[in-house]
A and B are shown apart, each in its own frame.
Chain A
Amino acid sequence: MRVERLDTDMLVLGAGGAGLFAALHARRAAPEFEVTVVVKGLLGKCGCTRMVQGGYNVALAPGDSVERHFMDTIVGGKWLPRQDLAWRLVEGAVERVHELENELGCFFDRRPDGTLDFKAFAGQSFDRTVHKGDLTGIEIINRLMEQVRAAGVCRLEEHRAVALLPAADGSGIAGVLLIDMREGVYRLVRARAVLLATGGGPTMYRYHTPSGDKSCDGMAMALRAGLPLRDMEMVQFHPTGLLAGPETRMTGTVLEEGLRGAGGHLLNGAGERFMLAWDPAGERATRDVVARAIYAEMRAGRTSPMGGVFLEMAHLGPEEVARRFPGMVRRCADCGFDLAGGRVEVVPTAHYMMGGVEFEPDGRTAIPGLFAAGEDCGGVHGANRLGGNGVANSTVFGGIAGDSMAAFLEREGGALRDPDPAALEAAIARCERPFGRPAGDLGELRERLWRVMWEEVGIIRNATGLARAADELARLAADLRDLGLAGGGRRFNLTWHNWLDLDSLLTVSRVIARAALAREDSRGAHYREDFPDSGDPAASRFTRLRLVGEEISVETVPVEFSILRPGESLIEEEAGAPPAAEAT
């Protein structure tokens, strides 16, 4: 098998908010070292940061404070976040937004007097979400892309990372095995330091929002490298994804939160509103409550023709809807739906993974030389992520990781090490597996994965269903191993990459199902109908999962309340304290 070899100093896997910020910071902090970015698509044109609509939470408004932002993050995360990470997030967001504007050239929306505009987002005690219309991600990633291209960073575009390779002497990370997707060859890149920043993206669910390139490759690689992951049961569902039927990539894409906030109605198949039975706030209830209510209607069979519910805006006046939500109305119109004047079918859709690799506030992981940042990581958001904290997480910790990698090289030199030959061989064998086997139906396998995750490991869970899911996921893993590809070409062979996507997704899905079984309470994004109580916050534990051979090990670990305990607050006055209610 052809393996081309190259060496670099700092290797960044991923080119979203985390990867690009890391590359920029690493390059600036240590210009004598080479930085190489690996990305599955084109630099700046794939991944999820670019898709951010809402905005970026930062405590900059007069009267707001990082303490308040911290409290909202902890309360919203149901006391499960690792508090030093949450603190680093809220503090870092202030610096990062200044950097984005003053040094990278982003421009966030202003009020008529020229000061920053802050949007209100659910679950927060203050209006603190800065934004660029409802296309905040494009502004951030376009400006980052321009700076990274000019910074002398090496690029490996349309390259997919498939394995984190340990050093033969066991001293840390040696490098990463990549597939050059265009050429169809393997590249072994040795590096002194490696950043895992490929993003999460729960695309193992039938309905999902992330970019099509997302397949949890980073978490799967981390698991295979022996790293512990935490909070993997915490998968956030957005209540209103577009339902456009099977076999269209439009299905699952987000119809924004603001539509409900503005007074949109959710109607079941019979045309009746149902949200008021669930929450006095009706359609304006938080994401988790609305997603569960819609799912319950669906389970009861009260569905729209394609199996979801209806979102209706027309009572607000079609012209007013078109004026306030031009992007959403245009997107629906392009897809053949009339959002302003008609009813659009919607369904809850898997959106974000709060869980991921355990990491330190400076980006280090348990493997020397390997750093991690962004949605690959767990611990920042706990049981639930606030809207607007996702892009803050990736950009804050990406930049920190870039600085840390540079400091690591300056301090320790970080020798280039040879990878463990057995690990390299095993990684190539795994990728080569589908070639030469009889071609099977990858689409059918994907549908089975989507179904079992949606039905048994989705919005409402119970022990029986999770056990069934574990069995089916094991069967799927076995079936994938026996499933081959038609034809043997490796150049730009998307079906080969679909196979590899499923391999990663299955690995991570098994871990999600295992974590969901281990958490015997209902908290934030995780809901067990057989354990509906949320439990005592003071006795909070988080799940920690590892892959040991082919088996998953799970333990639950007490949350360390390193800054404050449940019931305490960093905010003295009552007014403006974080809401006690569920936060999204």
Chain B
Amino acid sequence: MADAGTADGPVLDVRIWRGTEKGAFVRYEVPARANQTVLDVVTWVQRHREPDLAYRFACRVGVCGSCAMTVNGRPRWTCRTHVKRLPAHRPLVLEPLRNLPRIRDLVCDLEPFFARWERAGGRFVPTATRRDPLPRIAPDSTARRAVDAGIECINCAVCHAACDVLAWRPEYLGPAPLNRAWTLVNDIRHGAREEVLDRTSGDAGCHACHSQASCSEFCPVGLAPTAAIAGLKRASLWRLLGGSRA
């Protein structure tokens, strides 16, 4: 383990993965601050120690989902993970997200994640045009509530990294694409609801999920992909039995 510099005052002991699939952790001492997120720690290292440290972020406030990393073994959004909330007196260990190809240092290629989103049918198919009036839809209808429960996904891929099924079955669609699929199955305006069930009912779809619920445990915005996947399982079974959609 290389050591890349020290700083004065109270410091954090930080280990950051440098490299791609091959690489090593490098240790840094980062000044501790009263208000400091994990993203701030990474930024400090880039600004003061490693000008070419690769990491990704955009919005800083938890809406874009660009800055997710593995923090002490757990996938997290780093812009809203306060250092104080992590166990003290232990090194802060930062790695890229699991289950995705690595580009460099803390950056992953998210393309396999978005390709699954598409494969799961994650795109609205219209049944009306801009010339039609907006539909009247009661916000408290059962179907609309099912959509609302899952619609605020920020596609950060934290659930993808948390999923143990994906770790050993790379063809699995994964939690976020299935969660989006379930919102479309429940969207009464969507023109391809059966197709979404077709796409998500195969071996690599909802039935591959073992309900370990890591996705729901780690989702930073509190969604429950596990519940969405359970909904898809029910709907696809209903269909097999010749019934209507659940």
- Give A residues with C-beta under 8 Å from B: 41-42, 44-47, 50-51, 60, 95-99, 101-105, 107, 109-116, 133, 135, 137-139, 142-143, 146-147, 149-150, 182, 211-213, 244-245, 247-250, 253-254, 331, 334-336, 439, 442-443, 485-487, 489, 491-495
Residue picked from B37, B82, B130, most chain A C-beta under 10 Å: B130
Contact (A45, B58) CB under 8 Å given A146-B122, A149-B114: yes
Place the interface of chain B in its size category: 35 or more
| Contact between A331 and B187, CB atoms less than 8 A apart | no
B190 CB within 8 Å of chain A: yes
Residue of B nearest to A53 (CB): B63
The interface residues of chain A lying within 8 Å CB-to-CB of B60 are 211-212, 249-250, 253
| Contact between B132 and A102, CB atoms less than 8 A apart | yes
B234 CB within 8 Å of chain A: no
**Majority DSSP secondary structure for residues of B touching A:** loop
B140 CB within 8 Å of chain A: yes
User: How far is it, in angstroms, between the C-alpha of A51 and the C-alpha of B79 when the chains are bound?
Assistant: 14
User: How far is it, in angstroms, between the C-alpha of A106 and the C-alpha of B183 when the chains are bound?
Assistant: 12
| Contact between B124 and A211, CB atoms less than 8 A apart | no
Contact (A47, B58) CB under 8 Å given A485-B51, A486-B51: yes
Contact (A494, B46) CB under 8 Å given A110-B139, A113-B138, A485-B51: yes
| CB of A112, distance to nearest CB on chain B (Å) | 7
User: How far is it, in angstroms, between the C-alpha of A486 and the C-alpha of B82 when the chains are bound?
Assistant: 30
The interface residues of chain B lying within 8 Å CB-to-CB of A489 are 52
| Contact between B52 and A114, CB atoms less than 8 A apart | no
Residue picked from A107, A133, A149, A254, most chain B C-beta under 10 Å: A107
12 contacts between A and B (CB under 8 A): A41-B58, A45-B66, A47-B58, A98-B134, A107-B147, A113-B136, A114-B135, A115-B136, A245-B35, A334-B80, A334-B81, A443-B47
User: How far is it, in angstroms, between the C-alpha of A513 and the C-alpha of B55 when the chains are bound?
Assistant: 33
User: How far is it, in angstroms, between the C-alpha of A335 and the C-alpha of B39 when the chains are bound?
Assistant: 12
The interface residues of chain B lying within 8 Å CB-to-CB of A146 are 117-118, 122-124
| Contact between A135 and B138, CB atoms less than 8 A apart | no
Residue of A nearest to B61 (CB): A253
Contact of A250 among B37, B52, B104 (CB under 8 A): B37
The interface residues of chain A lying within 8 Å CB-to-CB of B126 are 102-105
| Contact between B82 and A137, CB atoms less than 8 A apart | no
Contact of A147 among B52, B81, B123 (CB under 8 A): B123
The interface residues of chain B lying within 8 Å CB-to-CB of A60 are 134
User: How far is it, in angstroms, between the C-alpha of A540 and the C-alpha of B128 when the chains are bound?
Assistant: 44
| Contact between A103 and B129, CB atoms less than 8 A apart | yes
The interface residues of chain B lying within 8 Å CB-to-CB of A111 are 139
| Contact between B40 and A45, CB atoms less than 8 A apart | no
